[in-house]
Structure 1
Amino acid sequence: MSELGSAVPVAVLTAAVLHAVWNGLAHRIPDKLVGFTLINLTYTACALVLVAVNPLPAAAAWPYLLASTVVQTISTVLLLRAYQLGDFGQMYPIARGSAPLLVAVLSVTVLGQHLGTGELVGVVVISCGLIGLAFSQGIPGRAQLPALAAAAGTGVMIAGYTVLDGSGVRHAGTVGGYVAWLFLLQGPTLVLVVWARRGRTLLAGAGRVLPLGIAGGVLSLTAYGLVVWAQSRGSLATVAALRETSIVIAALIATVVFRERLGRLRLTAALTVLGGIAVLELARP
């Protein structure tokens, strides 16, 4: 395997760890509106610096950037709602677990990318493991349906912006510039949406959780920057599947930090995800 080929999965798996950690930080903040606002303000500030030191994306990339901004904003609002209504250990895997198969279907049917048999098997195995993690506590009751709908909707949006950004960055001519402008456009958009709902009281008492918000923002930008770089060089379906291994990390965070029960089924599902990763790596040319 070439050095570049080895770098792609390493970058995506690193992003998966960072993504699970920043989501855990966001869930730990009691007021989710405040938490997501601080995270977005932080990566907006970081994006301002990155915009100044990176080239401007090519004109062909801007429709993707604008569309992704809208889709990612909707995704974040839905994820915020899911965290308000449900447990981290269930909402996170549902949100993330529904994306790989959708991305695989879209990358083949819309973008015309080819998946080998081994890659397809790996994506399916990982997705089955993720579904097992999502429903490891049994079939949800009616009271959980709003939370599940928000989490599932997040998964659909994740698949959408994964395809948009995977295509857009290939038109941009600059990975750094694409990521910088994406976060610069997205960050203030969500803050304005949340501000419209809460008003001037939004950041009242935010000082107590400011370190968590700043850490979450830096980790969020770094994680997605690594993913976009990987998308510019690898198969979208493979990158998306490897990225969702963050659910394994999230399961550990849910157990250790939020004291949620791991259980035999959740452990089996996590091992299934790892098995899918092995299949994907063996299938890589």
Structure 2
Amino acid sequence: MPIHIVLLVLFAALLHASWNALLRGGSDRLWSMTVMCIVIAIASVIAAVFMVAPAPASWGYGMLSALLHVGYNLFLVRSYRVGDLGQIYPISRGSSPALITLGAAVFAGESITPGELLGIGLVSGGIISLAFRGRSLSVPSLPYALGTGCFIAAYSVVDGIGARLSGAPLAYTVWMCALWGVLMPLVYIGLRDARSLFCVRPGILAASVGGLVSLLAYAIVIYAMNEAPLGAVSALRETSVLFAVLIGYLFLGETLTGRRVLACVVISSGIFIIG
């Protein structure tokens, strides 16, 4: 994989971990996530004005991805109700690279080298190991964390194919994100009400910044998926867990054990092999 793609995806990973930390640290995560999506929609519409529209062949993929992103949002918010960033994030992100590699082989006809497959395995295994406490994986919201990983895999494969068909990966990204950003507030209003959504609360600035950061991070990933195998890009993106572990330790009071440090070394080895 070209080194500039590796560095871009690692930067996107840092951005992704940052907005997840913002979400985990919020008091009303569904509201925070919805505000993020509104900001994403506004920014995406503005950006789309200056871009050529993606090819019609990609539109169905963009619509499906927007729906899958809403499902991802709901599962992620539910996971964080009772789980630590240091456990939920590794499970949801670590489970997706293998699923994406399989999905890309089945639906996109991708092949992957043995070295890249080894690197993906090390990254995925190292990430999931971060969620263990001793020898057990005791996570109250484990089904939701795994479900989040399935949504990640599904929308990543859909977006990888859609971006390639679009002829304009960045335009595809902003149009898909605009639709996603419209759907999520509708879901929120259906679950709660409009009044509680459109009010100024503490944390609205952090959520707004998180939305912009999230959009930038995913635009980078979509660009990379257009240039490199989906599974390898996903594995590199999920190294955001390394940053999440550090953020959780420094700012959220979560523990950093020798086991976690060793897992980080394994993940770094996988990055080196992929890169």
TM-score scaled by length of structure 2: 0.96
Aligned partner of 2:40 among 22, 39, 43: 43
2:10 maps to what in 1? 13
Of 82-91 and 225-234, the range deviating more from structure 2 = 82-91
Equivalent-residue separation in structure 2 for 1:206 and 1:82 (angstroms): 25
Higher helix share: 1
Offset, 1:222:
0.2
Match of 1:68 in 2: 65
Pair 1:266 & 2:263 matched: no
Unaligned runs of 5+ in 2: none
Gaps of 5+ in 1: none
Are 1:226 and 2:220 an aligned pair? yes
Name the counterpart of 2:23: 26
Match of 1:97 among 90, 94, 98: 94
- Secondary structure of the 1:261 match is coil
Deviations 1:218-276 (A, max 9, x none): 10000000000001111111100000000000000111111111111111111110010
Aligned counterparts of 1:23 and 1:276: Cα–Cα separation in 2: 23
**Does the C-alpha gap of structure 1 residues 122 and 209 become closer, same or farther in structure 2, counting only changes over 3 Å?**
same
Q: Counterpart in 1 of 2:194?
A: 200
**Aligned AA for 1:123?**
I
Is residue 166 from structure 1 mapped to residue 163 from structure 2 by the alignment? no
1:256 and 2:256 correspond = no
Note the C-alpha offset of 1:89.
Answer: 1.1
Of 249-258 and 196-205, deviating more is: 196-205
TM-score normalized by the length of structure 1: 0.93
1:175 aligns with 2:169: yes
In 1: Cα distance, 2:199 partner to 2:254 partner: 28
Number of residue pairs aligned between Structure 1 and Structure 2? 275
CA distance in 1, matches of 2:86, 2:159: 27
Shift, 1:138, TM fit: 4.4
Residue 140 of structure 1 and its aligned partner are, at CA, apart by: 3.8
Question: Is 1:212–2:209 an aligned residue pair?
Answer: no
8 Å CA contact 1:50, 1:176 repeated in 2: no
**CA separation of 1:138/1:195 partners in 2, compared to 1, >3 Å: closer, same or farther?**
farther
Aligned-pair CA distance for 1:204: 7.0
Distance 1:200 1:73 in 2: 18
Equivalent residues of 1:34, 1:206 under 8 A apart: no
Q: Structure 1 CA distance, aligned partners of 2:127 and 2:240?
A: 10
What is the deviation of 1:202?
2.2
**How far apart are the structure 2 equivalents of 1:123 and 1:48?**
35
* Equivalent AA in structure 2 for residue 139 of structure 1: S
Q: State the identity %.
A: 34
Partner secondary structure for residue 154 of structure 2: helix
